[in-house]
Structure 1
Amino acid sequence: MRILMIAQSPIAGDSRILREATALAAAGHEVHVIGRDVPDAWLENQHSEVGPGVTVESVSRSAGLRGSNGGPAVGHGRNGPKVLVQRFGRWLLLPEHRNRTEKQWRIAAAPRVAAAGPFDVVHAHDFNTLELAASFAGQWSAELVYDTHELWFDRALPGRPTPLWRARGRRFEAALAGKARLVITVSDGIAQRLRERGLADVRVVRNTFPRADEVPAALDRPEGLLYAGRVGAGRDLPTVVAAARRLAPFRTVLMGSVDPNYRLDLGPVEKVAERSIDEVDDTLRSYGISLVTLTNTCENHRLALPNKLFHAVRAGVPVVAADLPEMRAVVTQYKLGTLYTPGDPASLTAAVRDVIDNYGTYADGARSAAAELNWEKDSATLVTAYAELTR
């Protein structure tokens, strides 16, 4: 089949979308991806990134509301009346601006979608592309696939509370997704919520990684604690900093890009630049413990399975993870490591020390889990679901 994937994400850094597109192309389908703000250099070299059968094009999007400072985003924040007024303005306007920006991207993408079509399947990644995808699927008599990476209207979002927007959005999402032949999501918990909202057939394709060709022997004792991911709100990083003070001289390291306007006093925490997936594997192994954090502030976090969890499995490294329902189920079932209470530095400190004291046991659990928690198994679920569409 000819498959169109639509995503309001920078495809070059979205490993889930690239893995799905590559898996479907390997199964004999032709996949075209329209994403957001993909770097020109990546587009020119895309065949080395995604392989045969997959093509990618980019539609730009407004950069959004920016702060007035041009300095580093990690450090001590500024204070004063002017800064407080600016922050209040962002808090008030951000939800409206976010919705407008996403709508503008859909308007800009629509002619590109029309020019690329028709397709046999239109695959919408997340709710902010679903309306556009459903419209063109209807025009082309194509199958619609809805792939939601999050429980969209139950996320923790910056800005003022928007309860009416969330309530209307859940109803609209259910109505549009009800037209899809196939609904995909990332965890059993989110799948169950979607079923409760009237979507009967929901498949789970987790954010796992391909199994490593070779996993070196585990360290005798871990050298440090590594958080590898975006540095920003909602990731419980102030708790990490507070725990790092208690754990020193044991090293705590943040590795990844920083969200605009995010302010964090790093204290004893080291900060290193983001790296490629394969380099993250080696870095995780060199420190020995992977930190998988989220705040307990929304239903989406409670039901999430971050790709950092599965990246640690690929690297064969134990985790210290936030004690949230979906993560708790996976960590305890496969004995991947320990859990801590989000927002509690003492709990995080104790969890890290538990892994240090029982490192060999947890390392064995993480390595054994790779037999089940891998992209080879999850991609098979995706490919099988698509095979059903042809019938």
Structure 2
Amino acid sequence: MKVLMLVQSPVAGDSRVLREAATLTAEGHSVHIVGRDVPDGFDPGEGVTVESVSRSRGMRPPGTPRGVGVAVRTSSGPWTTLRRAARWLLLPEHRERTERHWRDDAAKLLAGRPAPDVVHAHDYNTLALGAELAGRWHARLVYDSHELWFDRGLPGRPTPLARWRGRRTETRLAARARVVLTVSEGIAVRLRRRGLRDVRLLRNTFPLDGHEPPDLPATPAGLAYAGRIGPGRDLEAVAGAAAALAPLRTVVAGPADPGYRLDAPGVEVLPPMSLAEVDRLYQDVGVAVVTLTDTCLNHRLALPNKLFHAVRAGVPVVAANLPELHAVVLRYGLGRLYQPGDASSLATAVRAVAADYTEHVEAVRKARSELSWEHDSRVLADVYADLEAA
């Protein structure tokens, strides 16, 4: 079948979207992705084509630093306070405006194109366009909910009424989908409670590619976080635990949110890495940390891809003690849990993993085949087989 994927995230860095596209092309389908911020020359994989639609730059003031690890002087005073208050007040409308701008431009880009067989909408901010196009083209609609969208913790003023309306709109539009995919059983349960009939679990696991991880030393050399560097990731707890865990290394690697600084003593801050480079980082230090703040329902129900990347690399984890993470980590014996926001708890969990390191490594490697994309991709292949048969 011909599949059109819609996604507002930067495609080159969205491993879930690219894994799904690769799986579908391996099943004989063709995939065209309309995404955002696709770099020149980017190769999405054999059988996959991609186009980019830009969004507005955002509300970042000109000159705001993007780097990490450097102290930045910021102005203070009444005008600065006023600007911050205005930003806090206007952020929700700005987010909606930029997302709507992308949908409008994507619709113009696709006008007059041949109809696909399936429109695959990634996340709520593409769902309205996906439902509109699927109806116009008489195509099948798939809704891929990467998050519990209206239960995320977002900067800016609270918008309870808009969130309530958004959930109702999401449910109405998602009901048009033949299948709804999501990333954790906790989110799937809540979507089913809204009356969505066919909700299937497609976790953010990683392909093993037939490779066995290397043997690890009897004790870890440190811990590493690899992912977005910004608020909501509980990196303050990682920084706070670093001194207590010395001489163990504490490494943080990834792209930094504008203006976010992580310059704590004892923390090595590294730039973004490829998947293979993260594998090697995890294996070099020995423990992966999967951190999230306990600040919203979406975090409590999340299963971050960092967890499954650690499993792919064959290393134990220290993960935030949130319901979905709690269930998976303890079920498979992947490591230990810590209380979000508590640096002392995180340090204690790292020491506990180090004390039983060999046993945790064995448990992770025993779970690799079940917690892999080779296992979970069959869910996606079966979804599309059902659509084709229908």
TM-score normalised according to structure 1 size:
0.96
Counterpart among 37, 42, 45 of residue 50 in structure 1? 45
Where structure 2 has 5 or more consecutive residues not aligned to the other structure, the ranges are none
2:31: which partner in 1? 31
Question: What amino acid is aligned across from residue 101 of structure 2 in structure 1?
Answer: Q
**Deviation, structure 1 residue 76:** 4.3
Question: What amino acid is aligned across from residue 298 of structure 2 in structure 1?
Answer: N
Contact 2:223–2:250 (CA<8 Å) still a contact in 1? yes
Matched, 1:295 2:293: yes
Question: What amino acid is aligned across from residue 180 of structure 2 in structure 1?
Answer: V
Task: Name the stretch that deviates more: 61-70 or 158-167.
Answer: 61-70
Instruction: Name the SS for the 1:116 alignment partner.
Output: coil
Matched, 1:279 2:277: yes
**Deviation, structure 1 residue 70:** 3.7
1:40: which partner in 2? 40
Superposed CA deviations along residues 36-81 of structure 1, whole A, max 9, x for unmatched, are 1101121xxx2xx411x21111111112111344433544463622
2:150: which partner in 1? 153
CA distance in 2, matches of 1:3, 1:224: 43
Counterpart among 238, 241, 256 of residue 240 in structure 1? 238
Q: How many residues align?
A: 385
CA distance in 2, matches of 1:85, 1:14: 36
Where structure 1 has 5 or more consecutive residues not aligned to the other structure, the ranges are none
**Deviation, structure 1 residue 180:** 0.5
**Deviation, structure 1 residue 87:** 2.1
**Deviation, structure 1 residue 265:** 4.0
Mapping for residues 1-391 of structure 1, pairs under 5 Å? 1-42=1-42, 46=43, 49-51=44-46, 53-71=47-65, 72-76=67-71, 78=74, 80-81=76-77, 82-212=79-209, 213-390=211-388, 391=390
Contact 1:67–1:260 (CA<8 Å) still a contact in 2? no
Superposed CA deviations along residues 110-143 of structure 1, whole A, max 9, x for unmatched, are 0222243311110000000000010010011110
Question: What amino acid is aligned across from residue 125 of structure 1 in structure 2?
Answer: H
**Deviation, structure 1 residue 197:** 1.2
Question: What amino acid is aligned across from residue 92 of structure 2 in structure 1?
Answer: P
Contact 1:291–1:319 (CA<8 Å) still a contact in 2? yes
Question: What amino acid is aligned across from residue 29 of structure 1 in structure 2?
Answer: H
Contact 1:144–1:179 (CA<8 Å) still a contact in 2? yes
Contact 1:254–1:272 (CA<8 Å) still a contact in 2? yes
Flag as ranges the 4+ runs of structure 1 deviating above 4 A: 73-77
Superposed CA deviations along residues 241-291 of structure 1, whole A, max 9, x for unmatched, are 111121122211100000112234423211011111111111110010001
Superposed CA deviations along residues 290-343 of structure 1, whole A, max 9, x for unmatched, are 010000000000000000000000000000000000000000011000000001
Question: What amino acid is aligned across from residue 370 of structure 2 in structure 1?
Answer: E
Instruction: Name the SS for the 2:41 alignment partner.
Output: helix
Task: Name the stretch that deviates more: 208-217 or 292-301.
Answer: 208-217
CA distance in 2, matches of 1:5, 1:68: 33
Using the aligned pairs only, state the percent identity.
58
CA distance in 2, matches of 1:165, 1:197: 17
Instruction: Name the SS for the 1:122 alignment partner.
Output: strand
Contact 1:67–1:261 (CA<8 Å) still a contact in 2? no
Instruction: Name the SS for the 2:9 alignment partner.
Output: coil
CA distance in 2, matches of 1:75, 1:266: 10
Instruction: Name the SS for the 1:40 alignment partner.
Output: coil
